[in-house]
Structure 1
Amino acid sequence: MKLKDYNKTEWKDHIVDMDSGEVVQEGTPVSARIMNNIEEGIFGVTVETSKNSADITSLAIEVAILKNASLNNLTNNVFFENFDTLNSVKLENGIYDPVAKKVYV
């Protein structure tokens, strides 16, 4: 689900005149369809938030590495390589980030 696909419900209170018993305003009905729309919206935002958080973390690490390399005049030796797993790689030096699927040396 994409956030732009979410259909917002405009909720209205059910208002009854206490003296006459007349319904002044019909309230928004609650149904499984409406509640499921809310659930899908929450789920969609949660998925996007998790993805954005992982992307932000990955970018923050890359910026820190580039900044450190630049400040230490190591600009010719900076590279990034993504790995799905380290099954075929023997890591002797550095750190593997399984969330971002990257090795930092």
Structure 2
Amino acid sequence: MPEMRFTVEWPDGMRTSHYSPSLVVHDFLVTGERYPVADFVSRTREALDIASERVRAAYGFACTSAAASQAEIARAADGHGTGEVVVLAMEPPLPAVPA
């Protein structure tokens, strides 16, 4: 199962990096885009829930690293009630689609 990391910048300039056991985060976030804090938390919660369930389907248990990423994001968001989160990078990127 491919895994990924995504790096974001919070409204105060703090940068954090988070893990996902699945590339599904690409379905919820776009590199370079800005998301209101609450929207970012909601999007990442849904993406990481899906990623964790994919691990459960493949291995029989949920991904504790995805849960840890959710907790890190929630803690960071508590200090940023307003403003926007910028997605700085998602690694690996999605493969280019041939024209």
Higher RCO (C-alpha under 8 Å, 6+ residues apart) = 2
Q: TM-score, normalised by structure 2?
A: 0.29
Q: TM-score, normalised by structure 1?
A: 0.28
> Normalized per residue, which structure has more strand?
2
